[in-house]
Chains A and B, each alone.
Chain A
Amino acid sequence: KAGVTQTPRYLIKTRGQQVTLSCSPISGHRSVSWYQQTPGQGLQFLFEYFSETQRNKGNFPGRFSGRQFSNSRSEMNVSTLELGDSALYLCASSGEGSVNEKLFFGSGTQLSVL
């Protein structure tokens, strides 16, 4: 079974640009979550999608958005990039979302904003 796939692996953008990151979950998983990882703030929850609906959202500005498609693939978008958006963005998938389910993480997209 293929794991969680995130593309691209690396991205370099300049301030003010926008970026779209993609995540393909494990086959059969309907939940996709996104996390931002930085050395200073650690792992921060961005949002979670389940069956194309956002069912949880973290404390990030509106420049951060996401969506999920009918095949459970997900994208996140960051508009008007700022230097502080430089981070490793991790996607995780899971099944139904019961409390004992574990998350399967992709290798992440390393975003650098110059």
Chain B
Amino acid sequence: AQSVAQPEDQVNVAEGNPLTVKCTYSVSGNPYLFWYVQYPNRGLQFLLKYITGDNLVKGSYGFEAEFNKSQTSFHLKKPSALVSDSALYFCAVRDIGGGGATNKLIFGTGTLLAVQP
């Protein structure tokens, strides 16, 4: 069964410092990994995805993620955090266990990112 884990409920970082939000995955077959962000009282917004190819994936709002197959990780990173980056971040994996076409995503528990001014 496909799954993702986000080991940190909350990450605190000072504005201007680099940030990392961690995600590890467990899949059978090729992993199709995603990061989404949720602002208060809003739905989820797509940040970036890894399907195949380069291990460093660049996404929206200056975020990037590094795919590491040996460590089964897909950590989200940003070189310089902004106060406006404060939000709930979700890692997700496409559930292809059934074998058929599907848009079903399995989400991690979420990590609250708090950027202090």
Residues of chain A having any CB pair with chain B under 8 Å:
4, 6, 31, 33, 35, 42-43, 45, 48, 50, 55-56, 58, 90, 92, 94, 96-108
Contacts A99-B32, A99-B94 hold; do A94 and B103 have CB atoms under 8 A apart? yes
Complex: how many Å from CA A25 to CA B58? Answer: 27
CB of B105 closer than 8 Å to a CB of A:
yes
Q: Which residues of B contact A (CB under 8 A)?
A: 32, 34, 36, 41-46, 49, 51, 90, 94-96, 98, 100-110
A105 and B44 contact, CB distance less than 8 A: yes
How would you classify the secondary structure of chain B's contact residues: helix, strand, loop or mixed? Answer: loop
Contact B43 A106 (CB under 8 A): yes
Q: Which of A42, A55, A102, A103 contacts B101 (CB 8 A)?
A: A55
Q: How far is the CB of B11 from chain A (nearest CB, A)?
A: 17
- In whole Å, how far is A19's beta carbon from the nearest beta carbon of chain B? 19
A sample of 25 inter-chain contacts (CB < 8 A) reads: A4-B43, A35-B107, A42-B109, A43-B90, A45-B104, A45-B105, A45-B106, A48-B102, A48-B103, A48-B104, A50-B101, A55-B101, A55-B102, A56-B104, A58-B104, A90-B44, A92-B103, A99-B51, A99-B94, A102-B34, A102-B49, A103-B103, A105-B43, A105-B45, A108-B42
Interface of A is mostly: strand
- Asked if B43 contacts A108 (CB within 8 A), the reply is yes
Q: Collect the chain A residues with CB atoms within 8 Å of residue B103's CB.
A: 31, 33, 48, 50, 56, 92, 94, 97, 101, 103
